Structure formats: C-alpha cells, structure tokens
C-alpha cells in the first residue's frame, strides 16, 4: 500500500490510473502563422496554426464523496496492522460484470461475477503492482522490478504458469489495454509504450499549477481545472472514443495537524466540455497501487479501510 504524499502527478494512460513526476513549465502556446520549410526553387508559404481551445471549469467537484454502489465488500482480504497500514489488495480488474481482485492476504487472484465468487487461482510468486487480464492470459507488473511484466496462463488445474516476460525501457506505474495492445505507463518519460517493445503510444499532455488548480495543455486544447483545497496532483487516467478522464488531487490540514488528501475525476467529451465529475471516497491515507478503473464509461474505485476492501461503482456528482 502507499501513503499519499504531497506531490504533483504527471501521467497518461488510456483506461488506467497512473502516478508520476514533477511539473515542468508549460511551453508557449502556438498561435498565428509560422513559415513553412521551403526548397530553393519553391515559393515561401505560410501555414496557419490554430490557437488551442480554452475550456475553463468554473467550480471544483463536490466535496462530499460520490454516491456509490458496493460491488464487493471483502473484510477477509484485509489484515489490520496497528502500527502500519493494512495489508490489503493493491490491484483489481473490471471486465463486464466480473471483478478480479488480487487478494494478498490469502494469496489468491479471485474473480467475482455480480458479487458472487466464481473462481480463484493461487497468487504468483511476485510482488504485484498492477495486473491486466485478457483471453485467459494474466499480466503482472512486478513491484520489485517495475520494468518487468510477467505473463501467465491458467491451465486445467486452475494453476497460473508463467509463459512470458517483457522488460520495459524504464520503470512503469500501470499496465492496461489500448486498442487491443498491452501498454505500460513510463513514469519519468511522461509517456506510455506497448509492452511488446514497439514505439511509444502517446506522450502526456503538459501540466502546470494555475493558482488554486491546474492548467492542462495537449497542443490543441487548454483545460483549466480549479481545486477546492491546496492543489496536489493531476493525471490523465483514461481516454476512449467519446471521453477523456482526468484525476485531480488536493489536500488540506485538519485542526489536529493531520493532512488529508482528496481525489476527484473530471470527465470531458471530445469537444473538451465537462460532462461529469466524481469525488472519490477517502479512507485515512490508504491508497492502493491501482485505485481506479474506468470501463465502458463507468468509474470504479478500489476502496481500502482498516477493516475491509471494497470495489465501488461511483455515480456522477
């Protein structure tokens, strides 16, 4: 498990939550016209460069956690440790009406359908940071060496057998799917790549602090998102044909000097208009490696307390 720290996140992933690095200054926004490259025999031409469209979110997401439907509630997956954070699941996967969760306490990968347990396999001999599943193949991002993705298949005895291993060019935070490809988020490079070693898939937008909030620039759009409390981090967590999702973090200090970190999801359509916001549920400072999954336009949260592990389906604010 991870303590949430006061950091600014720069990250990008389609359909995945990720964490990242330091804010870099925003580059100048292109506007007007620029001269095109010409050969000695061709006339000089100019090419119009469109000014990025500005979208300003007028108010931060609601302070109260979003209403949620509890899909799973598994107290046996949490080991309470009075002097430390609870020992609990770090990752989960949602596929249609099934939820698969990595149960570290009982050393199993457990699958539920409509809340009912339908199967489990023994936990592989590795420290898990994230996982992805497709067509009977299980892919695990190894937390001991976050450049390594291990591939397993389940045999007839419901045992996971390793069949592959990929070494990434740099440490990754998350893995998941983009248009049928398994991809990994590379933290320091601020980009994500296909796990099979092909070219980078996409680079991140640029992020910068903007007063009490953040400014996000991706070359053709500028988004300004305010925060209710002290801005802490922002990341691109999902994109599909219809929507883009950003997770925003802020924090405040209680009267007893305890620092509280909050998380929100902002959903934009492809014209960069705000569609929905979601406010995450907060349990002290406990945060799993894989906190969110966005599948078919729905936002799922792995919510850990000292007593239980829950998978929540969040409703829009």
Mean pLDDT (whole number) for 207-234: 92
Q: Are 66 and 303 in contact (CB under 8 A)?
A: no
| pLDDT, position 310 | 95
Of 190, 257, 261, which Cα lies nearest the Cα of 227? 261
Please give the mean pLDDT across all residues of the chain: 81
Residue 12 has pLDDT above 80, yes or no: no
- Assign 305 to helix, strand or coil: coil
Residue 34 has pLDDT above 70, yes or no: no
| pLDDT, position 22 | 33
Of 66, 14, 51, 19, which Cα lies nearest the Cα of 282? 66
Residue 37 has pLDDT above 60, yes or no: no
Q: Are 131 and 141 in contact (CB under 8 A)?
A: yes
Lowest mean pLDDT segment, chosen from 1-5, 182-186, 241-245: 1-5
Q: What share of the chain is helix, strand, coil (3-state, %, to 5)?
A: 0, 55, 45
Tens-place pLDDT, residues 265-300? 999 998 899 999 999 998 765 788 889 999 989 999
Residue 156 has pLDDT above 70, yes or no: yes
Domain ranges of the chain: 2-22+50-314
**Separation of alpha carbons 254 and 311, rounded Å:** 27
2-22+50-314: CATH topology: Neuraminidase (2.120.10)
Of 126, 145, 168, 173, which Cα lies nearest the Cα of 2? 173
Lowest mean pLDDT segment, chosen from 162-176, 183-197, 268-282, 300-314: 183-197
Residue 45 has pLDDT above 70, yes or no: no
| pLDDT, position 50 | 62
Which residues, at least 6 apart from 135, have a Cβ–Cβ distance to it below 8 Å?
A: none
Mean pLDDT (whole number) for 145-168: 87
Pairing of strands 221-226, 53-56: parallel
Mean pLDDT (whole number) for 217-237: 90
**% of the chain beyond a pLDDT of 90:** 46
Residue 43 has pLDDT above 70, yes or no: no
């Amino acid at each position: 498990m991870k303590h949430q720290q006061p950091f600014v996140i720069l990250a990008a992933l389609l359909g995945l939550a990720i964490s990242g690095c330091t804010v870099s200054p925003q580059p100048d926004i292109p506007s007007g016209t620029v001269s095109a490259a010409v050969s000695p025999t061709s006339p000089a031409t100019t090419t119009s460069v469109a000014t990025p469209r500005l979208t300003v979110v007028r108010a931060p997401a609601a302070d109260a956690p979003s209403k949620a439907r509890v899909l799973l509630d598994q107290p046996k997956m949490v080991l309470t440790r009075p002097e430390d954070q609870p020992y609990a699941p770090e990752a989960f996967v949602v596929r249609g009406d099934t939820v698969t969760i990595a149960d570290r306490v009982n050393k199993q990968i457990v699958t539920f359908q409509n809340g009912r347990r339908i199967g489990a396999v023994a936990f592989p001999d590795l420290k898990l940071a994230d996982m992805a599943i497709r067509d009977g193949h299980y892919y695990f991002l190894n937390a001991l060496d976050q450049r390594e993705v291990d591939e397993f298949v389940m045999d007839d005895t419901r045992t996971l057998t390793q069949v592959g291993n990929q070494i990434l060019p740099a440490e990754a935070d998350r893995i998941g799917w983009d248009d049928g490809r398994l991809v990994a988020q590379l933290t320091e490079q601020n980009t994500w790549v296909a796990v099979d070693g092909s070219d980078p898939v996409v680079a991140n937008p640029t992020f910068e602090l903007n007063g009490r909030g953040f400014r996000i620039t991706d070359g053709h759009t500028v988004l300004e998102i305010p925060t209710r409390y002290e801005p802490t981090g922002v990341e691109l967590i999902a994109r599909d044909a219809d929507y883009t999702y950003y997770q925003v973090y802020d924090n405040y200090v209680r009267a007893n000097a305890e620092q509280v970190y909050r998380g929100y999801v902002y959903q934009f359509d492809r014209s960069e208009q705000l569609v929905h916001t979601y406010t995450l549920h907060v349990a002290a400072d406990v945060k799993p490696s894989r906190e969110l999954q966005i599948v078919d336009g729905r936002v799922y949260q792995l919510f850990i307390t000292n007593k239980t592990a829950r998978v929540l389906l969040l409703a829009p604010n």
